[in-house]
Structure 1
């Protein structure tokens, strides 16, 4: 990557990535690499927060909020038990399932040699970001 950096600012970015994320030792690539890993969102937390606000109200007195949090904590214990017994599974939106399936397909094509690194990165950027729809994937 460093050899292909055309400008000084691009070379500086490459040095930063190499020094901070690849050779520093503080952050091993396994800690930050998301290749072949499921997409993680905070939708579960946002949903819980929305339900909590609905139950307690936005400007609840402290002791009312404590009661709501205590009830939520009891419910979490039940959920943990159900998950550990395989009786409760995470619900995922169809859009996220479709997006993740396409991402894993792109990764598979890359590993099989049917997709170049450049095409993989462009496809991932288009899929996960707001890239120009005319880009080749």
Structure 2
């Protein structure tokens, strides 16, 4: 939804040449491309937006080996044992028998994000307002509500 709104917006009415170069690259590669569509990379309306799951898995593999920086001949047997559980994990996930543990703070963050996504989809906020609200909730980037460089709405 967000990418579609931006895609059909006046994003091409950019005056800054460096930003125009980025837009000209993004449109055919990531927005309209056939290999990577927004469904592949967009975190819009997704509760998991980080690589924490991969980092946890990596930490678990290192823990089973008893050390980090695993050599090939140590890593391969661990991966083979891990591969034996994939079918069971897939079945448990599809049967909703495998639950996700969410810390309270992340439940609150997700709740706030979903509320502003709903406001955005109801056209109660502009794309710029949405991105600034997400920035505020997640705590990334500058904390200002006004930015002279990025002041236009998509």
Task: Establish whether TM, by shorter chain, passes 0.5.
Answer: yes
1:99 aligns to what? 109
2:26 aligns to what? 17
Q: Distance in 1 between matches of 2:39 and 2:73?
A: 43
Return closer, same or farther for 1:73/1:133 CA change in 2, 3 Å cut-off.
same
Q: Distance in 2 between matches of 1:29 and 1:60?
A: 35
1:118 aligns to what? 128
- Structure 1 position 36 matched with structure 2 position 29: no
SS in 1 for 2:111: helix
Give structure 1 stretches of 5+ with no counterpart. none
Q: Which has the higher helix share?
A: 1
Give structure 2 stretches of 5+ with no counterpart. 1-10, 147-154
- Structure 1 position 89 matched with structure 2 position 89: no
Q: Is the 8 A contact 1:21 1:28 kept in 2?
A: yes
CA positional deviation for 1:119 = 0.4
CA positional deviation for 1:33 = 3.5
Q: Give the superposed CA RMSD.
A: 3.0
Match of 2:118 among 75, 84, 108: 108
The number of residue pairs the alignment matches comes to 135
SS in 1 for 2:46: coil
TM-score normalised by the chain length of structure 2? 0.65
Q: Distance in 2 between matches of 1:39 and 1:81?
A: 20
Which one scores higher on RCO, CA 8 angstroms, separation ≥ 6? Answer: 2
Q: Distance in 2 between matches of 1:36 and 1:14?
A: 23
TM-score normalised by the chain length of structure 1? 0.71
Q: Distance in 2 between matches of 1:132 and 1:26?
A: 33
